[in-house]
Amino acid sequence: MKTNDLSRRHFIGTVSLSTVGLAASGAIPVIGNTSGNTGKLAILGGDPVVKNKVWPQWPYIDEKMIAQVNETVKSGLWGRINNPKNGTVARFEEEYAKMIGVKGCVATGSGTQALNTVVEAMGIGPSDEVITSPYTDMGTIASILVSRALPVMADIDKESFQIDPDDVERKITKNTKAIMPVHMMGQPCHLERIIAIAKKHNLRVIEDACQAHFAQYQGKTIGTIGDAGCFSFQTSKTIACGEGGGIISNDEKLLDDCYTVQNHGTNKQGQSVTIGSKYRMNELEGALLLAQLSTARERFETRNRNAAYLTSKLKGFPGLRPQKLYEGTQSGSFYLYTMAYHQEHFNGAPRDKFIKAVAAEGISLSPYIRNGLHREPWTDHILTLNEYKTMYSSERLKKFKEELILPNCDHVCANMVMLWASGPLLAAESDMDDVINAIMKVYENRDKLNSI
């Protein structure tokens, strides 16, 4: 008898009638290679599904990276300006753009800086509006605020967790200059519709691809579809150097302007021509990035394979529904593997009890963003600032506040469960089975969840 048959037989033998019904209808995932731990919940004194689970180390470190950093340290050329053509930052920019198939890349000190550089290079500032998502890192919104433009929040989709194109279109005003869609968890948002809306209303598109390195959509790489794409290389990301960022584009003039902005307004010819902060990436960060590029694609593929495996195991299971991917999605970065938790299929147990029970089985899941950024105090703070009071009418600011009712974002914040994926999705398929088995063991015992 195959292991899966055994597991399924054992599983069905221990579950309630309603579960048997679901299994018979094909709605229960086939359990992976269990070690028989389908009995009492570990949180109630049973044996855990897995003991002392060790995931692949993140951030990724190898000898090539150490050697490149060593070499850069010894060179004493630590700033890109000391070695503008042959330094690690310049070589990384060239190599990253080549891998993605785009005209060029400008490195910065963070993803937030990359986004703000594009905002500035596009001339977006006070009295302008940029539509973005409340379900993101604060860096997205900060990149608009530091230019004293108005970040207008569009709600998200409950199944894909991505910005909702319909709400984007509703939020366009005569002052909207750009849309900043975010590819959350590293998977493409509904870019086809966003681009169509942008074209219709003559708006720029700045893709926040901070989590979405190498993701493919409709035959193109994420970040190359809008006017510019911005990446983060902060430690947790799937390509990482501590803090770092990058802008890619096929628009050479925009790339040139971005270089100038991130170089405190000084262009490649050495003339100080505009306003810009100093956002330069340093050579040690460049060394870490350059040295990991040759193996990054392999890790990307492993994450996609493991994500597809998890999703196949959860197919039809009503309790946890993996992030919906839009048609045209060929691959994702899988920075995070996320699922919508459906409490009603876990005997009404709140998400935190489910997470606690799964953790006791040896698998760490967690909520992601607990509060949409429309609920953070910055929305009140900007209303007190002279520049906002001067540059935006009181009616506009009142409308801005009134529009911060975003129920889908609130719903996703309250119900999302994630497996952090940068490291864990590099593990073996049997490790993915452990994840599924822990979830399913808790599901089998859902009638006990409310007592923990």
Ligand X SMILES: Cc1ncc(COP(=O)(O)O)c(C=O)c1O
Alpha helices by DSSP H, listed for 239-385, are 252-262, 283-313, 351-360, 378-381
- Min separation Cβ 113 and ligand X, Å: 7
Q: How far is the CB of 162 from ligand X (least distance, A)?
A: 11
Nearer to ligand X, 48 or 186 (CB): 186
Which of residues 104, 139, 286, 322 is near ligand X by CB under 6 A? 139
Applying CB under 6 A, the site for ligand X has a residue count of 14
Shortest distance in whole angstroms from residue 325 CB to ligand X: 17
- Residue (137 or 167) nearer to ligand X, CB: 137
Reading across the β-sheet that carries 104-108, which strands appear in turn?
104-108, 245-249, 228-232, 204-208, 176-180, 129-132, 150-153
Please report whether residue 140 would count as binding ligand X according to CB under 6 A.
yes
Residue 323 in the binding site for ligand X (CB under 6 A): no
φ, ψ at 241 (rounded to 5°): -145, 25
d(Cα 329, Cα 338) in Å, to the nearest integer?
A: 16
Point out which span in 132-140, 279-287, 292-300, 340-348 binds ligand X (CB under 6 A): 132-140
Distances 260 to 18, 98, 100, 229, 263 between C-alpha atoms, Å: 63, 22, 23, 17, 5
Is residue 95 classed exposed, middle or buried when 0-12, 13-18 and 19+ CB atoms within 10 A define those classes? middle
CB of 101 to ligand X, least distance (A): 22
C-alpha to C-alpha distances, 174 to 127, 198, 396, nearest whole angstrom:
11, 13, 11
Q: How far is the CB of 232 from ligand X (least distance, A)?
A: 3
Binding map of ligand X across residues 224-263, x = CB under 6 A, - = no contact: --------x-x----------x------------------
Looking only at the bridges linking them, the beta strands covering 228-232 and 204-208 are: parallel
Binders in 364-393 for ligand X, by CB under 6 A: none
**Nearest-approach distance from CB 43 to ligand X, in angstroms:** 31
Q: Smallest gap, in angstroms, from Cβ of residue 206 to ligand X?
A: 11
Binders of ligand X among residues 261 to 280 (CB under 6 A) are none
Q: Is the peptide bond between 59 and the residue preceding it cis, with omega within 30 degrees of 0?
A: yes
CB of 430 to ligand X, least distance (A): 30
Based on CB atoms, which residue is closest to ligand X, 142 or 439?
Answer: 142
> Up-side HSE of residue 450: CA atoms within 13 Å toward CB?
8
- Rounded to whole angstroms, how far apart are CA atoms 171 and 181? 13
Query: Least CB distance from residue 316 to ligand X, whole Å?
Result: 30
The answer to whether 289 and 91 have CB atoms below 8 angstroms apart is no
Q: Does 282 bind ligand X (CB under 6 A)?
A: no
| Binding to ligand X, residues 176-215 (CB under 6 A) | 182, 208, 210-211
Whole-angstrom Cα distance, residue 441 to residue 452? 15
CB-nearer residue toward ligand X: 83 or 211:
211
- Site map for ligand X, 103-122, x if CB under 6 A? -------xxx----------
What is the spatial distance between Cα 445 and Cα 48, in angstroms, rounded to a whole number?
A: 13
Binding of ligand X by 48 (CB under 6 A): no
Nearer to ligand X, 299 or 353 (CB): 299
Q: Which stretch binds ligand X (CB under 6 A): 29-37, 136-144, 301-309, 390-398?
A: 136-144
Q: How many Å apart are CA 304 and CA 297, to the nearest integer? A: 11
Stretch that binds ligand X, among 23-31, 67-75, 88-96, 134-142 (CB under 6 A): 134-142
What is the three-state SS of 231-271? EECECCCCCCCECCEEEEECCHHHHHHHHHHHECCECCCCC
Residue 262, Cα to own-chain centre: how many angstroms?
24
Q: Does 137 bind ligand X (CB under 6 A)?
A: yes
Torsion angle defined by CA atoms of residues 221, 225, 230 and 232, in that order, rounded to the nearest 10 degrees? -30
Question: C-beta of 327: minimal distance to ligand X in Å?
Answer: 22
**Residue 398 to residue 394: CA distance in whole angstroms:** 6
Paired tokens of 377:
């105090």
Judged by CB under 6 A, does residue 136 bind ligand X? yes
Q: For residues 324-363, which are near ligand X according to CB under 6 A? A: none
Scan residues 68-97 and list those touching ligand X (CB under 6 A): none
363 within 8 A of 50, measured Cβ to Cβ: yes
The residue (of 331 and 437) whose beta carbon lies closer to ligand X is: 331
425 binding ligand X? (CB under 6 A): no
Question: Smaller CB distance to ligand X: residue 222 or 363?
Answer: 222
User: Residue 279 Cβ, how far from ligand X at the closest point, in Å?
Assistant: 10
Q: How far is the CB of 211 from ligand X (least distance, A)?
A: 5
Residues of this chain that bind ligand X (CB under 6 A): 110-112, 136-137, 139-140, 182, 208, 210-211, 232, 234, 245
